[in-house]
Amino acid sequence: MAVLLIASFAVLLWVGSEIHRQAPPMPEQVVTTDGTVVYTRRDIETGRQVWQSIGGQQLGSIWGHGGYVAPDWGADWLHREAEAILDLWAAREHGVDSYSKLDAPTQAAYAQRVQDLLRPNTYDAATGTITIDADRAAAIQAVAAHYASVFSNDPATAGLREAYAMRNDTVPDAEHRRQLTGFYFWAAWSSVTERPGSEITYTANWPHDELVGNTPPSNLFMWTVFSVLFLMAGIGLLGWHYAVNHGEEMAPVLPRSDPLASIKVTPSMRATAKYFWVVIALL
């Protein structure tokens, strides 16, 4: 047991330190190529605090860790941002209002084009700046407007709030809603931006979204299969050890009568009855 605990916690501490060391960078600002500031670090960090203040992982999730009623906000933002860019290109270059109305070869070419736009890492560590082009900035503005509506009391998104189990005016302050979108953008940016010197993103291509090129890397499958086989082998080893070293003497002895039949209900036990009746009624 001691060896198991020491080994397990050594791995956990090592992995935890690596996660901290290799965490996605928090930019000082997000700017367009013409120098317009889209979000600042203060916006993103305040947005994280706003998200935590409304329940955080209890209302949707970030990077897959949280509640399952509302969506994973980073994944939702990422897909909406990609579609907004594609729709922008489709309208400007083909005169249609949706990317989905283009023919299959054009859609395929656009899908590769949006990956070429979103996946390269434009973070400058020297200045702490993420640089984006005008099309991406326009898409961010469109997605941010959608989120500002969802987290307000806008009737246009009342159906989504009901589906997500959100109350009206989840974030009542307009500036806080804007800062919240900054945090969601950063979560999505981390999910689609490739690490320097790597072909996978800061979140190892999670969430899965083929539109932006987020597909599971091969080592993910390898370690998943290994972990399942290792677990099965461990259970088998424990079963073999028990069978060899214990045998028949460990077989349970069944009681001659029901042990619960002779229990005497005490006043303290009876006092808890109302609690269980309330729980049953609530369920």
Q: Which residues make beta-bridge pairs with 40?
A: 29
Domain limits of the chain? Answer: 24-221
Count the Cβ atoms, other than its own, within 10 Å of residue 142. 16
Instruction: Give the tens place of pLDDT for each residue, 31-89.
Output: 999 999 999 999 999 999 999 999 888 899 999 887 678 999 999 999 999 999 999 99
pLDDT at residue 277 greater than cutoff 80: yes
Instruction: Give the tens place of pLDDT for each residue, 128-185.
Output: 999 999 999 999 999 999 999 999 999 999 999 999 999 999 999 999 999 999 999 9
Instruction: Give the tens place of pLDDT for each residue, 178-198.
Output: 999 999 999 999 999 999 999
The model's pTM is 0.80
Q: Quote the pLDDT of residue 56.
A: 87
Pair 209, 119: CB distance under 8 Å: no
Minimum mean pLDDT among 95-109, 209-223, 245-259: which range?
A: 245-259
pLDDT at residue 272 greater than cutoff 80: yes
Q: Average model confidence (pLDDT) for the chain? A: 94
Q: What DSSP assignment string belongs to 159-206?
A: HHHHHTT--TTSS--HHHHHHHHHHHHHHHHHHHSBPTT-SSBTTTT-
Distance, CA of 217 to CA of 220 (rounded, Å): 6
